[in-house]
């Protein structure tokens, strides 16, 4: 929908960001896409439609409850939004931070959204630094070991949001939509996702 006004596309993106990366309402975030959305993450693989995206996003975020998404920049051209972000884990070892260790562990990501109109996006493609993700996960795990941060709640700090814009940060405790859903199991590997999606895709004939 190349003819959509820039303000319309930007407002859709702001809503997308507030609901998902900031508010962590992943059920609501899925509704920011068209029902037939084509979603490609270059680690997890392609996803088709609301049901597959939802089956993916909550278990993935549950699998890494410490990660939150910090907006770096975004640009809009026609129906396309491109944004860069940092996938951030706060350092739980505050004594080490006071002694000079990093306050957080980041690895970058870049995503492309395509606007469909009516406030929704028809496609998203995600790229992120896999080597950086692995490297920072090792450093983070060691910091958790030192600090005794063993539960999702102890790891789920969000202390370093960007200074602005105001819609890209949260100043209240996080409340991800996966909290309290005991039937969900966190995943960190594509084969785990494949197992989750297999019955759904078989039923749909894919």
> What is the reported pLDDT for 122?
98
Instruction: Say whether pLDDT at 2 is over 60.
Output: no
Q: Sign of torsion, CA 76 55 62 26?
A: positive
Domain assignment present for 43: yes
64: which residues sit within 8 A by CB, 6+ positions away? 186, 188
Domain assignment present for 205: no
> Which domain, by its residues, includes 154?
6-191
Domain assignment present for 103: yes
The Cα–Cα gap between 76 and 147 comes to 42
Instruction: Say whether pLDDT at 162 is over 80.
Output: yes
29: which residues sit within 8 A by CB, 6+ positions away? 16, 19, 20, 57
Q: If phi over 0 gives left and psi between -120 and 50 gives alpha, with beta otherwise, what is residue 120?
A: beta
> What is the reported pLDDT for 202?
92
Q: If phi over 0 gives left and psi between -120 and 50 gives alpha, with beta otherwise, what is residue 85?
A: beta
**32 within 8 A of 19, measured Cβ to Cβ:** yes
**109 within 8 A of 124, measured Cβ to Cβ:** no
Domain assignment present for 172: yes
Domain assignment present for 40: yes
Residue 206's pLDDT band, with cuts at 50, 70 and 90, is confident
What CATH number has the domain bearing residue 102?
3.10.450.50
pLDDT digits (tens, 9 = 90+) for 179-189: 999 999 999 99
Percent over 90 (pLDDT), the chain: 95
The Cα–Cα gap between 112 and 107 comes to 17
The Cα–Cα gap between 70 and 158 comes to 10
Domain assignment present for 202: no
Instruction: Say whether pLDDT at 194 is over 60.
Output: yes
């Amino acid at each position: 929908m190349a003819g959509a006004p820039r303000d319309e596309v930007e407002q859709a993106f702001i809503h997308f960001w507030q609901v998902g990366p900031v508010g962590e309402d992943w059920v609501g975030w899925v509704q920011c896409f068209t029902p037939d959305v084509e979603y490609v993450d270059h680690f997890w693989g392609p996803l088709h439609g609301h049901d597959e995206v939802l089956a993916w996003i909550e278990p993935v975020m549950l699998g890494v409850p410490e990660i939150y998404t910090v907006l770096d920049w975004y640009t809009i051209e026609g129906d396309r939004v491109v944004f860069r972000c940092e996938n951030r884990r706060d350092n739980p070892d505050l004594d080490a931070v006071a002694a000079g260790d990093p306050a957080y562990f980041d690895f970058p990501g870049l995503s492309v959204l395509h606007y469909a109109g009516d406030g929704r996006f028809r496609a998203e493609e995600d790229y992120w630094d896999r080597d950086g993700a692995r490297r920072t996960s090792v450093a983070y795990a060691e910091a958790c070991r030192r600090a005794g941060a063993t539960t999702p709640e102890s790891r789920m700090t969000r202390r370093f949001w960007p200074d602005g814009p105001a819609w890209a940060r949260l100043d209240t405790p996080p409340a991800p939509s996966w909290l309290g859903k005991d039937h969900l199991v966190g995943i960190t590997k594509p084969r785990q996702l494949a197992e989750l999606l297999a019955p759904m895709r078989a039923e749909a004939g894919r």
